[in-house]
Amino acid sequence: MDSDSSPWDDALTRSADLRRFRLAALKWYDRHGRKLPWRFTADPYRIWLSEIMLQQTTVAAVVPYFERFLAAFPTVRELAESDIDRVLRLWEGLGYYSRARNLHKAANQICREHNGEFPANAEQLNALPGVGRYTAGAIASFAFNLPAPIVEANTERLYARLLGLSVDVKSSAGQKALWSFAGRIVPDTRSGDFNQAMMDLGANVCTPQNPRCSECPLSRCCKAFGSGRQGEIPVRKARTPVTEIDEVAIVLIDRHQVLMRRRTSSERWAGMWDFPRFELTPEDRDLLDKRLLQTPRAGSGKSKNSTRTKSLFERAEITLPRSILEQTGSLVNVEAGQILAATQFRYAVTRYRVTLRAVVCSVDQRTAHGRVDSGSLDTDWFSAQHLDHLPLSQTGRRVADWVAGLTMQPKYQRSQPENSNEAT
């Protein structure tokens, strides 16, 4: 046993068993492999694009994005030369936006350091921004047919069951055993097909719940099946409990324009545009909710006992609580005035469940009209309709769509300050 071996490495040690295992997997793949748009090519650009999109995202969600992206950027050079905002806008809705930023950076690196050609080498691929060990192995094997191992969500489960792995698959011992196994089973020929067969078996046969062992071509050498432990493997540590948080997005409207800020590199959704948005303390949340609930709604005839309303407020001269005003000012250097409308959305990010209040406010003072781009402050004013062209997070888009709908309402026009020059 070499120094890289693990206690689970005794699976498929006989070369005849390994040969049969590979043949069974490839035979199954030829009949049952998934026919995906990025499977009909050995073009590393398309394979790379699909693999980055598939990280943390389902195949069904990726297909339309993949096709749109390729239509916009048919080559790695066109992607590299594109404006990052266009890349982010096309990525919008897929989530995990660092993938799009890294895609753009990696495209530039490929053009700069490799003359626009993908390196046919897993180590060099691994050196590209956003390309981890799995993605490097996938590109190397799918595009260049190199015997590079892969371990991702589907193969992780499949290999853990084949090995009968009884440690947490995410632990360093678990990862070591899985990568070691993946490296040993990948053949020198049809390496890409073999790796895709493993992924498809994991996705369609060795499913998380109720794996279809009776249809599995690998059941003869599966330790979990042999010992009836399919339901116990893969072993994972307990999930982190969900945390509820409250946020507010302040929609500052002035002269039919909305103030937006670009999120900084240290924030979630870095590089995307957003409304001034921040987390609320329980005290600020209660203060804000109290004001919103007290505020009469235009046209409703009575106050609704909920901030979920999408109607506009009457001119009630209600403003944001002081601490929320200050936080808004520190983000965008603009002072919010009267509250004009509010609603709320719910969304989930990783282990957080977020209640986002969106509050439309007029503007009392403005330090600059036009774009402010200095240090961490990068803000600009846009018409509600122009927001359609900006890259926003999914929740940012929901707020933007709501704002666009509001600004079309005649009541919105009436709710602007009557004596203000800025309300034209």
Residues at the interface with ligand SF4 (CB under 6 A):
158, 161-162, 205-206, 211-213, 216, 218-219, 222, 224-225, 230
- Closer residue to ligand SF4 (CB): 93 or 208: 208
CA distance 352 to 345: 14
Q: Give min distance, CB of 142 to ligand SF4, in A.
A: 22
Angle at the Cα of 39 (from 202 to 117), degrees rounded to 5?
Answer: 120
* Amino acid at position 131, single letter: V
Q: Give min distance, CB of 35 to ligand SF4, in A.
A: 21
Q: Which H helix or E strand runs over 379?
A: strand 377-383
Q: Coil, strand or helix: which one is 402?
A: helix
Q: Give min distance, CB of 382 to ligand SF4, in A.
A: 52
CA distance 169 to 91: 30
- Closer residue to ligand SF4 (CB): 200 or 247: 200
Q: How far apart are the first and last CA of the chain?
A: 79
**Distance from chain centroid for Cα 22:** 34
**Distance from chain centroid for Cα 368:** 34
Q: Is 51 a catalytic residue?
A: yes
Q: Give min distance, CB of 160 to ligand SF4, in A.
A: 9
Q: Give min distance, CB of 36 to ligand SF4, in A.
A: 21
Exactly one of 51, 247, 314, 335 is catalytic; name it. 51
- Closer residue to ligand SF4 (CB): 217 or 396: 217
Q: Coil, strand or helix: which one is 95?
A: coil
- Closer residue to ligand SF4 (CB): 163 or 288: 163
Q: Coil, strand or helix: which one is 314?
A: coil
Q: Which residues contact 34 (CB under 8 A, 6 or more apart)?
A: 59, 200, 203, 204
Q: Give min distance, CB of 277 to ligand SF4, in A.
A: 44
CA dihedral 407, 378, 348, 209 (to 10 degrees): 120
- Closer residue to ligand SF4 (CB): 21 or 91: 21
* E strand spans, 232-374: 243-254, 257-262, 273-274, 277-279, 334-349, 352-366, 372-374
Q: What is the CA radius of gyration of the chain?
A: 27
CB-based contact 130:106 (threshold 8 Å): yes
What's the longest Cα–Cα distance across the chain?
A: 88
- Closer residue to ligand SF4 (CB): 223 or 263: 223
The catalytic site residues sit at 51
